[in-house]
């Protein structure tokens, strides 16, 4: 299920000013979004596996770019999720 506030956060980070503020103080930005405690922690931990089922893939990718995550790291994290996904759907 999509998490509206997580999606809204990631969408809002597309603004260069918001990106700069995010890189300075994530907590201050997060305080503006009523995320569940689990989603808030997932964002703070850059936990792709926890966030992926709740947000559009393009917004998740953009979020990772904002966080300076390399393509290699992003893809590795996605691949690490694959065995769990196959087990749930297989």
Query: How far apart, in Å, are the Cα atoms of 59 and each of 40, 46, 56, 83, 88?
Result: 16, 14, 5, 23, 24
Structure token pair of residue 13: 């980070």
Assigned superfamily of 4-89: Dioxygenase LigAB, LigA subunit (1.10.700.10)
Are the C-beta atoms of residues 22 and 29 closer than 8 Å to each other?
A: yes
Residue 54 pLDDT > 50, yes or no? yes
Q: Any idea where the domains of the chain sit in the sequence? A: 4-89
pLDDT tens string 33-49: 999 999 999 999 999 99
pLDDT tens string 57-88: 899 999 999 999 988 998 888 888 866 554 45
């Amino acid at each position: 299920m999509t998490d509206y506030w997580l999606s809204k956060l990631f969408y809002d980070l597309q603004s260069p000013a918001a990106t700069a503020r995010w890189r300075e103080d994530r907590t201050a930005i997060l305080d503006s979004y009523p995320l569940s405690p689990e989603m808030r922690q997932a964002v703070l931990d850059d936990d792709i596996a926890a966030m992926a089922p709740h947000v559009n893939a393009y917004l998740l990718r953009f979020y990772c770019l904002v966080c300076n995550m390399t393509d290699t790291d992003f893809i590795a994290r996605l691949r690490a999720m694959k065995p769990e996904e196959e087990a749930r759907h297989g």
